[in-house]
Each structure stands twice: as structure tokens, then as C-alpha cells.
Structure 1
């Protein structure tokens, strides 16, 4: 996609198209610097998105005029967002133009970690910094942690928001195989948004907010509305790796991560249960500081829900050095 065709989400937002690990494909970065900061040198945070939607629809999406990125800016952090290949405004894999069964799942964590490394090195060079902090969501915890393990000197701190953890291998069962990509509709997303909210509880996301979000979600793929039903073509590597993790095959070794780590999750998040968080917390054996923070009335998509301000506060507190070494519940 042409970076010039990407609408700015804020008048001060800057866009960059940079080389990635595949010579023929480029990566898209969005950047919103803090208007004021007390940090010297400046502090940069890079958001690493999850399995189905890009940075514009997560850290940068404004509900009632305010986003997680705005909260980071107000705390003095320069905020970056990366779109992996096949998402948002980064280039699509050429394999996505062929039948999905012609190729194995696209955007696996090892591939995504190389994309992330390219983005981090660009950010550090652009801003003249030595390190960047990472905030990752869901599957994004895999490439973020791979990068942190391979290049610890590049990463200051890591927030693992709703990360995927390893679950024990299933006896007599192997992970299913997946094609290269799939189509994800707005209705698919809505079902994800509500599936973990207990039936007796009020909604944590309004249909009005979702309507605006879902329209922008369809905008993230210029061909989405030509499909029936309308939907976004999405690489299936991330989803396949979530399933592998739940069959005992996590894409990285948490014991190799040597940066301070915060696990932040919602009370109703079915993708990282208490026992998952316990396993991941214990597996982060080299992290000098580690926290497990559980926020009430939140699901796997808490950054888009009513409890998002609590998520923002906890993430900013940890990035600023508010190190409360909490044991998982």
C-alpha cells in the first residue's frame, strides 16, 4: 500500500515505510511523538499487534476521543505502531493473492520477529536511542519475546498484554494444520468481543463503539467490501501458533527473555487463564522484574473495552519503573 494513502489518525502523526526482511516487501510504521516529555533521552514504545487487526485498530484507535497511544503520549512516551506483513498498511504477502491452500500459514512468529527487528532498528536510528520498550498483544507476545531474547540490548521493558502461554501437550493429538490465510468478517470480530463476557454481566463494549471500529476494520483491507460477506484477508500464521502453543509448542522460550516483563490480563480472558499466567510467570526465569496484573471485568480485548483506562494505567506504571513483583493468582 502507498503510505501516502494512509489517513492520519492525528494531525501530528508521522508515517514511515521501511525495508523489511523480504526484499520485495515493505513495512508500515506510524509514529506519534509526545508533545512534552520529562525523559532525557526520550523514551519510545513500540506496539506489537495480535493475530487479526493492525496498530490503527488497537493502540491508536480512539474511543470517545482518546486512545492508549494518547495516554502514553501524555505520560511522556513517544508511541510507535507496526503493521506486520499482510496487515494494515504494510505490504501483503504475494502468497495472499493465491488460493489459501497453496501455501502454509503466513506470518509465523520467527518471520514476524525479523520484521519487528527491522522496525526497532529503524526507530532507534531515527530517534537516536539505544533501546525501545515493547507493548505486545496476544500472539504479538511471541515475536516480541523472540526479539527480546535474541537482542536483549535493544529492548528496555516488555508489557505482555493478554499473552499466549504454553499449555501441556495433548495426548494422542497433534495440532491441526492451517492454510496461508483466511477471511475475517466484522461479525467474526463481534463474536470474539463478546464470547468471554459472563451472561449475567453488562456489555463491556457498546454496539455504537463497535460499529465505528468495525467500519475502520474493513477499511484496513481495500478489497474487504468486494467480498460477500465483507471481510478482511488475514494471515493465518498467528492463529496457527496459538493453537500450537495450546498443544505444547510455544514459539519462544520465556527463560531467554532478560528484560523486565509485565503480564497484564483481564479477569474474563479465556485465552490466558490463571494457570497459563502462572506457567508463563514461572517460565520467565531470567526476567529481573516480573509482574502479573489481573484487571477485573476485562476480556482478551480489554484495550477496546470499558476497563481500558485501567490497562493504560498499569502499562504506563510498569514502563515508568513501578515494579510490583506480583505472584499470579
Structure 2
């Protein structure tokens, strides 16, 4: 189990919560940073849903040059929460993660994660005495997010799908491969992900200085990471397995079930959601009362940690405020 007492406090005003999850005996970790001031009455809350390989502390709450995406949302008046799914960050590990990876199927699939998300949403709404909140997801996180939103429309105000994964046409005579329970992801694996989609003739969108600051904190997200050679973070493989399934025609949710206003925000160089994928997802979200597809130049799948992160933050905050709201400077 994760030692909750060692969860770093990323801001003096940040609050930590450990709540029961849907699996008996396993708890979930939430971090919360309320806005210092807000024009919203009642207050408005945003829950960030992370992607396939790193938790909330390294995404929405990670500060480059002293500012994070969470800080930008706070400045726009939103109370911001971050959830770590089982097997990530400071939530409990699946017991299967202490066994050989081949002994079990992939852990933390969307149906499981959507139940974890539901536990977090209900806790937040009760804690803040709210009727609904907004969800901001990254990458694979769009799957449990949209699955939950489709099943519980009254609890979701607005949806931001940053770099979501979409369905692609099935490949003839080909089935997605089987995956084990977990894998180990090294810092070098992450660096390769960060740079692989930047065209060779273009300037980098993430500085090595920033990444070298991020990398050790990534290893800190798994207390056993430095005991491995090379050092790496043990990561549930359910998310990656479902990305591959989506690209074989098997998306983990039905976009038509989503009935909240939704925006797709993606980078120009994001190889995981090219224009054709975004077009399919936009059309498939046919019952969303408001839909937007925003493409930001010079951004990849990890744009929230890159030079164009400020544009992402601004577009996210403006959409969450409502379509008629005035622009927010970031």
C-alpha cells in the first residue's frame, strides 16, 4: 500500500484526502487546492482525471517556472481537485501489482476507473455541498471520464477532453494484442514520449531543464522506482491496452451517451489524436449540447507540460466558465 503520510504538499494551501474506493480495502488519494478568490456563487469545482502513465501531481499540479495548470484554473475562480487512480501516485496499489505481470490481465481499465472516479466525484460534491462539477481529462483519462459522464449526467457540468483517444476503424483480420497487468516505465521512456511527435526541423517544445526537474518527481511517484535497474515506475496497463483497443475499433464508451457541454483540445503535433480521429469523436458526441474542437499549434500529446501550455490553460478556463464568458488572461 502507498504511504499516505509521504504525499508531498505541492502548495501551502493544498489539502489531501484519502477516501474509500470501489474495491474493498483499497483507498483513493485526492489533492485539493481551493481558489483564493472566486466570482462563482455557489463555488465551482473542477476534477482533473490523469492519463495512462503519471498522476495528478505531475500533470495538472506540476509547476514549471512557478506556475501550474491548476494555478491558472484557481486564478480563473475554480476550486481544483486531482485524483490518482489505483496504481498511480498516492492511491493504493492493486494487490496484483506485487505479483508477476503475466499472472493477471491489464489493471485499471475504464469501467474500473469510472467507478473510482464516481467515488471521488461523490466525495467532492458532498465535501463542498455542490450538485455537480466539471471534469478535465487527459488522453486515456477521457475514457473513464466520458463513461462516468454518460452514466451520471446530472453530476457533470462541463467536460474538457484534452488530447483524448478516439475510435479508429477496425483492422481487417487483426485483433488487439493481449496485455499483462502492469509494466515499468522509465524516465527515458517518458522523455521519448515527450519528444517523438515534434517534427525534426522544429525547435523543442519542452526544455531538457524542465524535464530534468520533472523526471525525479516522476520516480518519486513510486516508492520502489529506484530499486529497479533502470529506475522506473510500475504502471497499470489497462489504460494502454484500451488505447490499442480503441485503435482496433473498440472504444471503451459510447460518446453519444455524453450530454454535457464538451470541448476537445489538442495539439497540432499530437500523433495520438490526428484530425481524422478528432473529427470522428466530435461527430460521435452527438448529444452534447455544446461542442468545440480546438487545435493549438506547436503542441503534442503532452502539451500541458510544453511551451504552448498557456494557450491550453486559457482555452480550458474559458470553456469551463461558459461559452458567453469573457476571455481569461493566463
Name the counterpart of 1:96.
97
Q: Secondary structure at the match of 1:182?
A: strand
Displacement of 1:135: 0.2
Map of 2:112 onto structure 1? 111
Partner of 2:242: helix, strand, or coil?
Answer: helix
1:37 is displaced (CA, Å) by 0.4
Counting only pairs closer than 5 Å after superposition, residues 262-273 of structure 1 correspond to structure 2 as 262-273=263-274
The answer to whether 1:257 aligns with 2:248 is no
Q: Name the structure 2 match of 1:23.
A: 24
The 1:123/1:172 distance shift into structure 2, 3 A limit, reads same
The separation in 2 between residues aligned to 1:6 and 1:251, in whole angstroms, is 31
Normalised TM-score (structure 1):
0.98
- Structure 1 runs, 4 residues or longer, greater than 4 Å off: none
Q: 2:203 aligns to what?
A: 202
Partner of 1:213: 214
- Measured in 1, the distance between the counterparts of 2:35 and 2:129 equals 16
Deviation at 1:323, TM superposition (A): 6.3
Q: Work out the CA distance in 2 between the residues paired with 1:298 and 1:61.
A: 18
Cα-to-partner distance string for 1:42-93 (whole Å, 9 max, x where unaligned): 0000000000000000000000000000000000000000000000000000
Rounded to whole Å, the distance in 2 between the matches of 1:192 and 1:141 is 19
Task: State the partner residue of 1:186.
Answer: 187
1:313 aligns with 2:311: no
The two structures have a TM-score, normalised by structure 2, of 0.97
Match of 1:38 in 2: 39
Indicate how the Cα distance of structure 1 residues 196 and 323 shifts in structure 2: closer, same or farther if over 3 A, else same. farther
Shift of 1:4: 2.0
Q: Deviations over 1:142-187 (max 9, x none)?
A: 0000000000000000000000000000000000000000000000
Instruction: Quote the offset at 1:322 in angstroms.
Output: 2.4
**1:280, CA displacement in angstroms?**
0.2
SS of corresponding position for 1:37: coil
C-alpha contact (below 8 Å) 1:255/1:284 kept by paired residues: yes
* Cα RMSD after superposing both structures: 0.8
Give 2:293's aligned residue: 292
Please give the alpha-carbon distance, in whole angstroms, between the structure 1 residues aligned to 2:212 and 2:179: 30
Is contact 1:131–1:154 with CA below 8 Å preserved after alignment? yes
Residue 70 of structure 1 aligns with which residue?
Answer: 71
For 1:214 and 1:295, the matched residues in 2 are separated by 25
- Is the contact made by 1:3 and 1:15 (CA closer than 8 Å) also made in structure 2? no
Q: Deviations over 1:224-259 (max 9, x none)?
A: 000000000000000000000000000000000000
Shift of 1:2: 2.9
Q: Distance in 2 between matches of 1:127 and 1:34?
A: 13
Secondary structure (helix, strand or coil) at the match of 1:243 reads: helix
Q: Which residue does the alignment assign to 2:328? A: none
Equivalent pairs, count: 324
The residue aligned with 1:170 is: 171
Helix, strand or coil at the partner of 1:112: helix
In the alignment, structure 2 segments of 5+ residues that lack a partner are: 326-330
User: Does the 8 A contact of 1:289 with 1:323 survive in 2?
Assistant: no
Q: Distance in 2 between matches of 1:29 and 1:195?
A: 31
Unaligned runs of 5+ residues in structure 1 are 325-329
Structure 2 counterpart of 1:58: 59
> What does residue 82 of structure 2 align with?
81
Q: Which secondary structure state, in structure 1, belongs to the residue aligned with residue 211 of structure 2?
A: helix
Residue of structure 2 equivalent to 1:327: none
Whole-Å separation in 1 of the counterparts to 2:8 and 2:97: 24
Shift of 1:7: 1.3
1:216 partner SS: helix
